[in-house]
Structure 1
């Protein structure tokens, strides 16, 4: 993706970026997260509300490797594994930050709500 396109998508409102996220994940069947060197996915938020940020494409997540999470790496997770993981995250009371921008603003959803949105969108591709 061209740098200007990347910036334009980051400038979308949180709700519009969330819709973009759902469509891209359903289309390409993968999602991108940031992990530390031990393989643990990064979180934001507070101790009682841990939020796992996710991105629809590697280029978006890479922006945060240069700023917020310098000693981390971007990890791709296949959609089927990600969907299975949502059940576990729900029971552990995590939340998901759907496509944060550079200020870490995003739509915050419960994992099973995200899963429901992804299932609905994937059905549009069948």
Structure 2
């Protein structure tokens, strides 16, 4: 589980571009062993691009919770353990032909990836971290 982020650090991270936020997400998810989503009584929240239905994911609770307003005010931030993400979520999203929006900002700007692309990157990062120990 991650430690709370200082507000100044949150602001600094939010100023990163979509690619930098993706790199930050990969690092944080591997370090903290969790992926953050928003859920309600019907399941996880989705964003729709022109072509795809996407599940937005965040690296820390602070960023997911920042989305709990307006039409999403009834949601709650939920951490998915990384092992469960790999074993259940990725295969399920692939079966349902869903994509991911990686760490979207308040303008809904974020990289759109297939779940197996994120999985590959997370596993590669975890392997590098393990080799350094």
Asked whether the two chains share a fold, i.e. TM above 0.5, the reply is yes
1:73 aligns with 2:76: yes
Deviations for 1:72-101, whole angstroms, at most 9, x for unmatched residues?
A: 100011001011210121121100011111
1:89 aligns with 2:93: yes
Could you tell me the TM-score, scaled by structure 2's length? 0.88
Aligned partners of 1:107 and 1:6: how far apart in 2?
19
Moved over 2 A (4+): none
Uncovered stretches (5+) of structure 1, i.e. residues with no partner: none
Q: Provide the secondary structure at the position in 2 that maps to 1:102.
A: coil
Aligned partners of 1:22 and 1:39: how far apart in 2?
27
State the Cα RMSD in Å.
1.4
1:3 aligns with 2:7: yes
Equivalent pairs counted in the alignment come to 125
Could you tell me the TM-score, scaled by structure 1's length? 0.93
Q: Cα offset for 1:66?
A: 3.0
The corresponding residue for 1:110 is 114
Deviates more, 1:43-52 or 1:18-27: 43-52
Aligned partners of 1:110 and 1:3: how far apart in 2?
31
Contact 1:10–1:102 (CA under 8 A) maintained in structure 2: no
Aligned partners of 2:15 and 2:79: how far apart in 1?
23
Q: Provide the secondary structure at the position in 2 that maps to 1:31.
A: strand
